[in-house]
Amino acid sequence: MSTLTVARKDFQDAIRSWLLLGLTAVFVVFAAGAAYIYIALGAFVGGPATGESISSTALISFLSALTAFFIPLIGLIVGYKSIIAERESGSIALLLSLPHTRRDVVLGKVLGRTGVVFVSAVVGFLIAAGVVVVLAGSLSAADYALFVLATLLLALAFVALAVSFSAATKSSTLSLVGAGILTVLFIVPIPLLGSLWALIPTLVRFVLDEYTPLTLDLSTQPEWAQFFIQLDPTVAYSDVLGVLIPDLANGGGGAPFYLAPSFGFVILAAWIVVPLALGYYRFDATDL
């Protein structure tokens, strides 16, 4: 119950600081705006014109490409100061003087910050669904709900990563640097590759093959390189979407279990659990 108490307080603090309201407004503008652009400017993005029926799968594919950039960024911004800010202000001592353990603080912060993102995102996506229904007249509620569910799982992964950095570091600057590294690795887009993370195995092969030029075609990568690329949480998110909504699947039949799209669930779970365990271990061992 102490974990839930910390989470409730963190969520209430977000309400009092207008973080929840501000983030909800951002999500509404993002999700509803993206849906409107897809429909109204369909000629540019492959969608239909206003007033015509749309393909729910095509719309979700368009939205998911944007959320793979936007959601992780929001998760990192919301979480990177969650614990370190209280350490720097000294309020962490008061929090721990209550019947809360450090584990309660870490898990409570994850739940509280994730709750803020969840509420904001759900409101934004619901309004976006309304925009689609009003302008296009139809939307697969089941597929759209699965898309939102997968997106919330991605948000949880990046909030957990940010809170882990916040718990493990001794200054907000270091926590910000950690969030910045994650942004460069997984979020900043790189043409043909998607992210810097996907470039790493190509560079490793380039060195191991004595600097022989290599193709950037991901389909020609050896299995270890494909697995490394799949460890990117945004790639795992895409795989999870393909499992939940088969029309979005990108193949994977006959691949080893660790390269199968369903393994994306395991990867996202690992990105939640492992960093939190390491962050908590560091936080628990630190003299406050």
pLDDT in tens, 125-171: 999 999 888 887 778 889 999 999 999 999 999 999 999 999 999 88
For 170, the domain range is 2-186
Could you tell me the two tokens for 110? 């994850």
Q: How far apart are CA 6 and CA 109, in angstroms?
A: 7
pLDDT in tens, 6-51: 889 888 888 888 888 999 999 999 999 988 888 877 644 444 544 4
**CB atoms < 10 A from the CB of 74, how many?**
22
pLDDT of residue 2: 84
Q: How far apart are CA 75 and CA 243, in angstroms?
A: 23
Amino acid at 265: F
Contacts of 268 (CB under 8 A, 6+ apart): 153, 154, 157, 233, 236, 237, 240
Q: How far apart are CA 69 and CA 63, in angstroms?
A: 10
Enumerate the H helices of 41-101 as residue ranges: 42-45, 56-79, 84-89, 91-97
- Domain membership flag for residue 75: yes
Per DSSP, 234 falls in state H
- Domain membership flag for residue 168: yes
Nearest to 179 by CA among 195, 159, 154: 159
Per DSSP, 48 falls in state P
Q: Is the dihedral angle over the CA atoms 146, 152, 156, 161 positive or is it negative?
A: positive
Does the pTM of the predicted model rise above 0.75? yes
- Domain membership flag for residue 39: yes
Q: What is the mean pLDDT of the chain?
A: 84
Contact assessment for residue 181 and residue 169, using Cβ atoms and an 8 Å cutoff: no
- Domain membership flag for residue 261: no
Number of structural domains the chain divides into? 1
Per DSSP, 184 falls in state I
- Domain membership flag for residue 112: yes
Q: ∠ CA(162), CA(166), CA(171), 5° rounding? A: 135
Q: How far apart are CA 74 and CA 158, in angstroms?
A: 8
pLDDT of residue 212: 56
- Domain membership flag for residue 65: yes
Residue 218 pLDDT grade (very low, low, confident, very high; cuts 50, 70, 90): low
| Count of all residues that appear for the chain in the document | 288
